[in-house]
Structure 1
Amino acid sequence: MRLTRLVAALVAAVAIAGCGKDNVTDPTFPPLAGVRFVNSVNDTSALDFRAIDQIQFSPVANALAFRGATEFQPTEAKARHFRVFVTSQDPAITSHPIVDTTVTFAANTNYTMMLTGGARGTVQFVVITETAPTPAANQIAVRTANNSAVAIDNYLVDSVSTAVSGTPAMANVAAGALSGYVAIASGKIAARVTPAGSAAVSASQQGPRAPATLPGERPAAGVDAQGTAFTVVYFPAGVAGSPTAPAAGTNRCGGAAPLATCNPTVVWFVDRLPTP
């Protein structure tokens, strides 16, 4: 939906610019997809993501930190060439991409390009074709992406202090796997993740509530906004001794002000906006 609005705005802008001129401008756009980057590399500093084959309609992310993501960006739908670099101003570092690959996109389709693995080992994109459902009235849709090395359960409860019990909303999601969507009544919702079959909570995060909108605006995404679809991503802790889990310094793990990435966490990402 965001992609559609952007294209419409661009078309309108070109049409206005052409008013009052003798020559008629007929703007055309190539077939477009939507592409979102997610950084799940847990042993290095921020990363730069680039489509290097052309300038127009090419997604980009600068200094995207571990656990960070972009919104869906309009991307020309065809085979596209991507590279990922460690964020730096040192040519000795930026001249060596950690990923160099080509991905083909179909028009009118959203994709998530989730970068996984470790810079000290193998790094690769997991490309997810987005097929978020349209939730029924008074419901939202939620799925789980497990970026850790162990299977997990995800409980959808009222708050991060609600005890987990019974059957998880998404059970035994394998390492590196993506669950299907489940429907749940919109309202106050938190995700609490445990190792599969355990009641010991590894990470929790309250789902984001929809911000207020002005009259005439389309509804904003939120766990309390019917029609929204989310992916709840479970990220592991940073690798000990790496930039995401330093062993020394002010933000060292176990110190007075440790980085948030010293521990596992849960992040809610919007897959589908509510229908007006």
Structure 2
Amino acid sequence: MSQASSSLSMPSGILRHAVLLLTGAVILLPFVWMISLSIKPPGEIFRASFSFWPTHFYGIENYGKALTEAPLPRYMGNGLLVCALILILQVLVCAPCAYALAKLRFAGRDLLFGMVLIGLLLPHQVLSLPLFILGYQLGILNTYAALIFPYVVSPFGIFLFRQFFKTIPDDVVHAARLDGLSELSIVWKIMVPMAAPALAAFSIFSVVGHWNDLFWPLIAVRDESLMPPPLGIMAFKSEEAGNDYGPLMAASTLVVLPLVIAFLAAQKWFVEGITGGAVK
């Protein structure tokens, strides 16, 4: 019986791995193309035949232009500052909200959670006009605050932390209350440390999403010194001379590289944080 089941599971296992490998190849193909174009001279970029490695290596020139023709390090510094502040403020707001929805009982709790779910369904672009008007009235347009304040409250962060907090036994919370801890102390001293995988997963989602965001920065800021990486990359686009694809792809590679390194370093906690909320 075991031999028959193993013989049946082997083809299905091969099929699953084949599908995963094919899906992974499709996902990685644009990145491979990007890296290939970043080391090619202009004459080889538009060739009909594709080859990953160029006949004439042009990577030094392309990456040199990416770092000198536009203040790319400044753009990346802006992105790092904005993403870090957004993440810190999101955690400060989302963790107590998620704790209240997961462990406290009060009138309207389910209604508030339903509103959080509705917030998950709304694309951020839908709110761009009222956010722009609010930013204008507050006088924060064309500042770092304009890039940060629309994202302080994250429905996804509240949902993710709430689902993870639900998996923590209520006895832990009751014991902390008996020890004299306040509700906020329980959040920061017990719940958040126990939800470290969820925090890591949310951090990756938050940083990747806001590091790659182009739509809102395109509306909120005009000063080049405030531009995040996606908006700064547009400096390589010229209506008169055309797009300089070599340096453009080199700049894109440099912008994507920190995200890849961060994900590879935290992938274990990322997977655990995503799956942890589904245990209960």
TM-score (norm 1): 0.26
Structure ID, larger Rg: 2
Structure (1 or 2) with the greater strand fraction: 1
- TM-score, with structure 2 as normaliser: 0.26
Structure number having the greater helix percentage: 2
Q: Which has the higher contact order (CA 8 A, sep 6+)?
A: 2
